[in-house]
Amino acid sequence: MGLTKTEIFTDQQNTIAQLAKVLGHPARIAILQHLFRSDTCVCGDLVTEIGLAQPTISQHLRELKNVNLIQGSIEGTKVCYCINTEAWEGARELLFLFLSQQPKTNGDCC
Amino acid sequence: MGLTKTEIFTDQQNTIAQLAKVLGHPARIAILQHLFRSDTCVCGDLVTEIGLAQPTISQHLRELKNVNLIQGSIEGTKVCYCINTEAWEGARELLFLFLSQQPKTNGDCC
DNA sequence: ACACTTAATCGTAATATTGCAATGAACGAA
DNA sequence: TTCGTTCATTGCAATATTACGATTAAGTGT
């Protein structure tokens, strides 16, 4: 029905999935990479940098903000976005832990 | 339009996003965790383990197979699934690299 | 006040995802 | 063969996502 049954999973599973979901779009990957690369907090030149319309970029920025990975501050008519270092490191920690899992039987069994 | 414009992004960005997208559902996280935990390759008892209907689990398994994270082999009437170690390590590498990024200016600038 | 810039929001269209009942295909056992 | 088990596939309904034009809100400059 298009609706995820979050209630049958653990908080940890839901959190990992929610984070991964936000990273699950190339535009948001590109936005994050751009924010990491550019020393200064770039603003809406993400629109020209990435080839999507302004409302679309704004929507992606909101999703990144929703999980706290980025934050923005208003500078006149512009808005300055940057990585939320603390949240980013938390996300990294959580995903590292999940990705570090290894099969007990090394060597695939099927 | 519900259709991602993959053509305007790099292959790397698309690959990262595709992987993250597959990890972006708690059921698939739960399936992977179960496959890691259980020494033997479990089969359709994922259905009882996780509380979703059999067709739903089957669908999630297919998505995990599509990106090669798991593989299955037929054992009589049952199907035995397990982690594809090589692909898993490739995914880990790629995501580790992305997650390891750090802002140049340490300390958020906005 | 007026024009201009920037970015969020609204509304909408197209497509994707999630979940399941029903069905089908493949195998083992009686 | 027939029955039961296991899992994939099909078809469908409900919801979510992606993208953008049009508009709005807020700020700057003249």
Q: How far is CA B13 from CA A26, B73, B84, B87, B97, in A?
A: 5, 31, 22, 17, 12
Assign B107 a pLDDT band (cuts: 50, 70, 90): low
Residue B66 CA to residue B62 CA, distance in Å, equals 6
Does residue B83 have a pLDDT over 90?
yes
Distance from CA of A99 to the nearest CA of B (A): 6
pLDDT in the model for residue B22: 98
- By the 10 Å C-beta count (0-12 exposed, 13-18 middle, 19+ buried), A62 is classed as exposed
Q: Please identify among residues 41-70 of chain A the ones whose CB lies closer than 8 Å to any CB of chain B.
A: 41, 50-52
Q: Is the Cβ–Cβ distance between A43 and B110 less than 8 Å?
A: no
CB-CB: which of A80, A95, A106 is closest to B110? A80
Query: Is A109 in contact with B82 (CB distance < 8 Å)?
Result: yes
The pLDDT score that the predictor gives to residue B105 is: 73
Provide the number of CB pairs (under 8 Å) joining chain A to chain B. Answer: 154
Task: Say whether pLDDT at A85 is over 90.
Answer: yes
Separation between Cα atoms, residue A14 and residue B68, nearest integer Å:
22
Burial of residue A32, with CB atoms counted within 10 A of its CB: 0-12 exposed, 13-18 middle, 19 or more buried: buried
Q: Among A4, A18, A36, whose Cβ lies nearest the Cβ of B101?
A: A36
Q: Which residues of B61-71 are buried (b: 16+ CB within 10 A; e: fewer)?
A: bebbeebebbb
What domains are defined for chain A?
A: 11-98 (1.10.10.10)
pLDDT digits (tens, 9 = 90+) for A25-83: 999 999 999 999 986 778 789 999 999 999 999 999 999 999 999 999 999 999 999 99
CB of B91 nearer than 7 A to strand D: no
What the block records as the tokens of B103 is 């802002």
**What's residue A44's pLDDT?**
84
Instruction: Give the pLDDT mean for B52-66.
Output: 98
For residues B27-31, average pLDDT: 98
What is the model's pLDDT at position A91? 98
- Is it the case that residue B32 has pLDDT exceeding 70? yes
